[in-house]
C-alpha cells in the first residue's frame, strides 16, 4: 500500500517550453502532497506544499509563477515548469502524506528527470 506514481519518468524539452509532471497516490487519498527537486549528489530540497483544493505554499526562493502547482483532487497533483531553461534541469520528486494513520512521514514517487536543452 501507499504507492505514489509520477509521470513522465523522464522528459527532454527545448528551452522556453513548459513541462507538466503528474503525481498520483494510487491506493490512498493524500491529504497533502509535496514537490522536491534534487540536483546530482545532493539532498532533496522542498519546493512547495500542496493541499487539495487550496493554493500551494512555496518555500522561500521558489518562484510560484515559474513552478505552477495544481492539486485538483486527493489523488492528483501536478507541477508545471513554465518557460523552462537549462538551469531547471533536475530530478523532480513528489511525495504524499496520508494512507496510514499516525504516520507523519511521506511516501515518495519515483521521480521525474527533466532535461532542458
Contacting positions for other proteins (CB under 8 A):
4, 6, 32, 34, 42-46, 49, 57, 93, 95, 97, 103-111, 113
Minimum Å distance from CB 97 to other proteins? 7
Minimum Å distance from CB 32 to other proteins? 8
Q: Name the residue among 56, 75, 103 with its Cα closest to residue 3.
A: 75
d(CA 45, CA 94): 11
Minimum Å distance from CB 59 to other proteins? 9
**Minimum CB distance to other proteins smaller for 17 or for 103:** 103
As given in the structure block, the three cell numbers for residue 33 are: 502532497
**Minimum CB distance to other proteins smaller for 8 or for 16:** 8
**Minimum CB distance to other proteins smaller for 14 or for 104:** 104
**Minimum CB distance to other proteins smaller for 10 or for 17:** 10
Minimum Å distance from CB 74 to other proteins? 17
Cis link prior to 50 (omega < 30° from 0)? no
Cα distances from 96 to residues 16, 57, 78, in angstroms, run: 29, 15, 12
DSSP state, 41?
A: T
Pairing label, strands 112-116, 10-13: parallel
Amino acid at each position: 500500500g501507499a504507492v505514489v506514481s509520477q509521470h513522465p519518468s523522464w522528459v527532454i524539452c527545448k528551452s522556453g517550453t513548459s513541462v507538466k509532471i503528474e503525481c498520483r497516490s494510487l491506493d490512498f487519498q493524500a491529504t497533502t502532497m509535496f514537490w522536491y527537486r534534487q540536483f546530482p549528489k545532493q539532498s532533496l530540497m522542498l519546493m512547495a506544499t500542496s493541499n487539495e483544493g487550496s493554493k500551494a505554499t512555496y518555500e522561500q526562493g521558489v518562484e510560484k509563477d515559474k513552478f505552477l502547482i495544481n492539486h485538483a483532487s486527493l489523488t492528483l497533483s501536478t507541477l508545471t515548469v513554465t518557460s523552462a531553461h537549462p538551469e531547471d534541469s533536475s530530478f523532480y520528486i513528489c511525495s504524499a502524506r496520508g494512507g496510514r494513520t499516525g504516520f507523519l512521514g511521506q511516501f515518495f514517487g519515483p521521480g521525474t528527470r527533466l532535461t532542458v536543452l
